Structure formats: C-alpha cells, structure tokens
C-alpha cells in the first residue's frame, strides 16, 4: 500500500490503463496522428474514424444520438458553452436564469458573467440535505425564464438531484434545461432518451479518462440552438471550432465505454468500501455526514468533525489525499460555499473533510484510513479548548468571542 | 507543501506528546491558575493560555 493514499476521486481520477494504451496509439508518426478534418487522405480518414467511434461510446453511455455530442476541452468549457451559448441565443425571449448556490464554479461564474450583460439570475438555496427539488425550481420560474442550469451529482457532498422531474417542469414551459453531469457518468444511470434535458456537460477526467477533454450533449429533438463561444473553422456543426484532439477524444471514448461496462460492478465494490469506512467512523462523537443519506452516489463522503480545527486535521491526515471544506490556505478565510449553502456554521465547515473512494481504492487503504482518522481526531480533540468546553457542558453558541 | 518542515515537525511532535510541549489543561477552578481564551471558532482559531503563579516563578 503506497502512501499517501489517494481518496480524492471527486477532484480527479487516474486514467484507466486501457485508456492510456488507446491514447498512446494516436500521437506519433506510426500512430493515428492525422487531423480528423483532413478529408483528402487516409491519415485524416483514420483519425476521423477513431473520433467518431469514441463519439459513439460517449453516446452509448448516456443513450443519445452520436450527432448530439460536441467535443470540448472539458466540463468547464461545456458549462460555459451551454449557459452562455443558450442564454444569448434566447435573449429575445427573456433574460431570467435559474441555477443553485451549490453549482460548480464553471456554472456560477458563467452566470455571474451573464449578470454583467443584463441577465437576471436566481441562485436557489438547496435544502439542508443539499438537494434542489423540482418544487423549488417551479417556484422560481417566471415568464422571463429562459434557462435552468442544475447539476446532477454534487461534487462536494455527492447528492443527486432529480433531473427527470425537473426536466418535465422545464420542458412543459419551453425553458432550456442544462445539467452539469461531470460527476455522474459511470456512477449513476443516465438515459437521455428518457430525460427531458436539452444540454448536458460531461468530463473525461472524473471518469478515469484524461484531463483536457469533455463533451456537451446538445439535444436534436427538440433542437437546441447555441451561440458558439469558440470560432474558427466551424467544427462540431459550428458549435465548437478547433481541430479535434484525436488522442484526447479516443481516451474519453474508451473511458466512457469502460464506464458503461463496469459501472455496476464498480458501484457495488465502492459501496462496500464506503460502508466499511463509515461503519468504522460513525460511532465517533460529534461527527456529521453532510448531504442526504440516501439520495447520493456510492463513493463520496463529506464528514464534519466537530471541535477539531480544520487546518490541523488536514495536517494530521497527511498520509491520505483528501479535500477539505475550507480554503484556509488561501488569503480569505472562506469555508466551502457548498457547505455554507446547506446551512453548516463556519466552524463546522472548516472541520469538514471530503473522502472520495474510486475504482482503484482498496480495502487495506480503507482500514488504514479509518484508524488514522480516529487517531487524529482523538488526539486533536485532546488539544482543543472547544472540545473541553463541550465536555464541560458549556453551550458554545452562548459564548461571546473577542476576535484578535 | 503548504507548511514548512519545521512547522509540520513541531505539529507532529506535539500531537504525539502534548505534555512535553506544554500543551494540556490545568484545572481552571484552581485559585492559583489564571486562564485566558481568545479567538473565534468561525475563523478556525481559538487559543487558551493558562498561567500558574507561585512566589517566584510563572509557569505557562
């Protein structure tokens, strides 16, 4: 077992060896290096064939037509293209956009940008379980609403939104529905023939593919119209110009093909590991699992350890690679905006750790981590004046703190 | 690496043996012990300092 142990699969995943093999065949002179847009020779034809095969793998995983898949540089670009592209195209119909406070920055910052251009954006508050319900969306809709953008699976807490029900509501009213599915491919079933979703963002590097490639699903029935964000050659039916990166595309295609084959067995395995992990921790005093208990993906656990200071917790856990709920290392003292949005007080948000298990996690790693976490939290609590006060029965909310 | 080696070393040594590094808790109800606490949990830092005074020496 190598240290540090990787438990940050929500942040990125290692490329599957099968993916790497396929990618390597598309780079050098003796590989499939041609420009897929070169119509006039075999180098181009072979490259185009590989790119189209990869496109069909992506379409197969989510059950859509391959012609509905547009290659991008990643889910961030897909989010930008979907949100800016559809809002601007439809701005004659209205200027109101609905999204949520717990979306990925690619969505939030795109919406902010549109606000600067005269659009109005409603940022919905999720429930304390992290989920944005169809009812919340319906309440926020008005006659000027042209776009709803919500994520399928939340990257920080792992909860799942009911995009099928939300899609029904938006389709009824002719509102464009964009879903950021960067975290859902390979974890949750996606059947676009059964979902009333107009645009969906995909990421390769969250599903054991390479970084730097993603895709956007753009519905043909009904046909979604977008204003391209990147111009220069009209590739991807005019929606996204730029020479297709065959090796990246082939990598994403293979990753999604594997995801379709292995999703069920992966999930089963990961769920067992997750349950073992949580069983090892759940009897600890004053710890909280953030996000809905049931409506979540198998591998993500965002846990708050009360009365333990966040920075020191990260330091004490340096044998494992995880993500914390705070950005203490940055200039600001802002804790995670997602944890804030679901109602966590700052001090609890600061003491939160996201554990994300994945395809290559082992039982030995889980066992080691459980012991490490328990030990670290116990030792840190011994040092914590707040823990002492809690043990003495002091109501910490009643204390008036003087800041220095 | 966000912190210097010195900081990380001190942290780990303190965690392993708090007493040796003057980290711990004296009984705050003892009349010879003065206790002060400052900070804000919302920022993630709270410090408690205790001192004990006898005729000649201040222990902290």
Confidence of residue A395 (pLDDT cuts 50, 70, 90): confident
- Alpha-carbon distance A336 to A344, whole Å? 10
Q: In chain A, whose CA is at the least distance from the CA of B27? A: A388
Which pLDDT score is estimated for A135? 98
Per-residue model confidence as pLDDT tens digits over A47-92: 999 999 999 999 999 999 999 999 999 999 999 999 999 999 999 9
Which pLDDT score is estimated for B44? 64
Contacts of B44 (CB under 8 A, 6+ apart): A309, A310, A311, A326, A328, A333, A347, A350, A351
User: What is the share, in percent, of chain A residues with pLDDT greater than 70?
Assistant: 97
Confidence of residue A327 (pLDDT cuts 50, 70, 90): very low
B4 three-class SS: coil
Provide the 10 A C-beta neighbour count for residue A92: 7
Q: Is A327 on the interface with B (CB under 8 A)?
A: no
ipTM: 0.77
The first and second tokens of residue A14, run together, are 């290692």
* Chain B interface mutation, best of A383, A386, A398, highest count of B Cβ atoms under 10 Å: A383
Confidence of residue A331 (pLDDT cuts 50, 70, 90): very low
CB contact under 8 A, B40 and A326: no
| Facing residue for A350 by CB, picked from B23, B44, B47 | B44
**Strand partners for A214:** A72, A203
Per-residue model confidence as pLDDT tens digits over A94-122: 999 999 999 999 999 999 999 999 999 99
Cβ A184 vs Cβ A153: under 8 Å: yes
CB contact under 8 A, B44 and A345: no
What order do you get walking across the sheet with A69-72 strand by strand? A69-72, A214-218, A199-203, A176-180, A145-151, A96-100, A120-124
Kindly tell me the sign of the dihedral angle through the C-alpha atoms of B12, B13, B16, B19.
Answer: negative
DSSP label of B3: S
Peptide bond before residue A4 is cis, with ω within 30 degrees of 0:
yes
The first and second tokens of residue A345, run together, are 């007080």
Which pLDDT score is estimated for A372? 96
Does the pLDDT of residue A174 top 90, yes or no? yes
- Alpha-carbon distance A352 to A90, whole Å? 40
- Alpha-carbon distance B16 to A317, whole Å? 14
Q: Is A394 on the interface with B (CB under 8 A)?
A: no
A81, A83, A84, A85 alpha-carbon torsion, rounded to 10°: 60
Residues of A in contact with B14 (CB under 8 A): 383
How many residues comprise chain A? Answer: 404
- Alpha-carbon distance A182 to A188, whole Å? 11
Nearest to A148 by CA among A181, A184, A124, A130: A124
Confidence of residue A137 (pLDDT cuts 50, 70, 90): very high
Kindly tell me the sign of the dihedral angle through the C-alpha atoms of A75, A365, A381, A282.
Answer: positive
Cβ A97 vs Cβ A114: under 8 Å: yes
| Facing residue for B15 by CB, picked from A316, A396, A401 | A316
Of residues A397 and A345, which shows the higher confidence score?
A: A345
Q: How would DSSP label each residue in A302-360?
A: EEEETTS-HHHHHHHTTTEE-EESB-TTSSS--B-HHHHHTT--HHHHHTEEEEE--TT
Query: What residues of A are labeled active site?
Result: 328
Pairing of strands B58-59, B45-53: antiparallel
CB contact under 8 A, A315 and B11: yes
What's the gap in Å between the CA of A86 and the closest CA on chain B? Answer: 40
Which pLDDT score is estimated for A329? 40
- Alpha-carbon distance A286 to A288, whole Å? 7
Cα of A24 vs its chain's centroid, Å: 27
Which pLDDT score is estimated for A330? 42
Q: Is B35 on the interface with A (CB under 8 A)?
A: no
* Chain B interface mutation, best of A315, A395, A398, highest count of B Cβ atoms under 10 Å: A315
Q: For tokens 């293209």, name the residue.
A: A81
Nearest to A287 by CA among A348, A237, A225: A348
CB contact under 8 A, B8 and A315: yes
CB contact under 8 A, A403 and B3: no
- Alpha-carbon distance A286 to A396, whole Å? 14
Which pLDDT score is estimated for A333? 58
**Strand partners for A352:** A304
Q: Is B43 on the interface with A (CB under 8 A)?
A: yes
Which pLDDT score is estimated for A325? 60
Which pLDDT score is estimated for A403? 58
Contacts of A279 (CB under 8 A, 6+ apart): none
Nearest to A32 by CA among A55, A51, A19, A57: A51
pLDDT (mean) for A327-331? 43
Provide the 10 A C-beta neighbour count for residue A327: 15
Of residues A346 and A123, which shows the higher confidence score?
A: A123
Query: Which of the residues in chain B have pLDDT under 50?
Result: none
| Facing residue for B42 by CB, picked from A312, A315, A346 | A346
Cβ A363 vs Cβ A276: under 8 Å: yes
CB contact under 8 A, B44 and A402: no
The first and second tokens of residue A87, run together, are 């809002």
* Chain B interface mutation, best of A324, A380, A401, highest count of B Cβ atoms under 10 Å: A401
pTM: 0.92
Cβ A208 vs Cβ A19: under 8 Å: yes
Cβ A143 vs Cβ A114: under 8 Å: no
Per-residue model confidence as pLDDT tens digits over A279-301: 999 999 999 999 999 999 999 99
- Alpha-carbon distance A190 to A210, whole Å? 21
């Amino acid at each position: 077992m190598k240290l540090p142990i990787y438990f940050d699969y929500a942040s990125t995943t290692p490329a599957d060896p099968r993916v790497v093999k396929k990618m390597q065949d598309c780079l050098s002179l003796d590989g499939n290096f041609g420009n897929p847009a070169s119509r006039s020779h075999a180098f181009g034809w072979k490259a185009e064939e590989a790119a189209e095969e990869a496109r069909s793998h992506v379409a197969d995983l989510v059950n859509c037509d391959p012609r509905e898949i547009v290659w991008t540089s990643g889910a961030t670009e897909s989010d930008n293209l979907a949100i800016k592209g559809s809002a601007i195209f439809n701005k004659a119909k209205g200027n109101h956009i609905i999204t949520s406070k717990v979306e990925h920055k690619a969505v939030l910052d795109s919406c902010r940008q549109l606000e600067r251009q005269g659009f109005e954006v409603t940022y919905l508050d999720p429930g304390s379980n992290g989920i944005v319900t169809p009812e919340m969306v319906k309440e926020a809709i008005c006659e000027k609403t042209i776009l709803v953008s919500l994520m399928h699976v939340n990257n920080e807490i792992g909860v799942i939104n009911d995009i099928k029900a939300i899609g029904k509501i938006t389709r009824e009213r002719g509102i464009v529905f964009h879903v950021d599915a960067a975290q859902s491919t390979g974890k949750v079933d996606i059947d676009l023939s059964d979902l009333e979703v107009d645009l969906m963002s995909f990421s390769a590097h969250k599903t054991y593919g390479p970084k730097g490639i993603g895709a956007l699903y753009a519905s043909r029935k009904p046909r979604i119209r977008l204003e391209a964000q990147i111009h220069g050659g009209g590739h991807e039916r005019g929606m996204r110009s730029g020479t297709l990166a065959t090796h990246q595309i082939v990598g994403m295609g293979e990753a999604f093909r594997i995801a379709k084959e292995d999703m069920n067995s992966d999930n089963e395995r990961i769920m067992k590991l997750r349950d073992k992990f949580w069983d090892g921790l759940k009897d600890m005093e004053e710890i909280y699992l953030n996000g809905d208990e049931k409506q979540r993906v198998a591998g993500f656990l965002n846990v708050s350890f009360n009365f333990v200071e966040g920075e020191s917790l990260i330091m004490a856990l340096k044998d494992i690679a995880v993500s914390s709920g705070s950005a203490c290392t940055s200039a600001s003292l802002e804790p995670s905006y997602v944890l804030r949005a679901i109602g966590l007080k700052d001090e609890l948000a600061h003491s939160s750790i996201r554990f994300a298990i994945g395809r290559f996690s082992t039982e030995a790693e889980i066992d080691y981590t459980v012991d490490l976490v328990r030990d670290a939290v116990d030792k840190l609590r011994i040092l914590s004046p707040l823990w002492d006060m809690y043990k003495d029965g002091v109501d910490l909310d009643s204390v008036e703190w003087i800041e220095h | 690496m966000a912190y210097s080696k010195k900081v990380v070393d001190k942290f780990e040594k303190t965690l392993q043996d708090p007493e040796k590094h003057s980290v711990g808790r004296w009984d705050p109800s003892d009349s010879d012990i003065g206790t002060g606490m400052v900070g804000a949990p919302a920022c993630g830092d709270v410090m408690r300092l205790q001192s004990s005074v006898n005729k000649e020496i201040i222990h902290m």
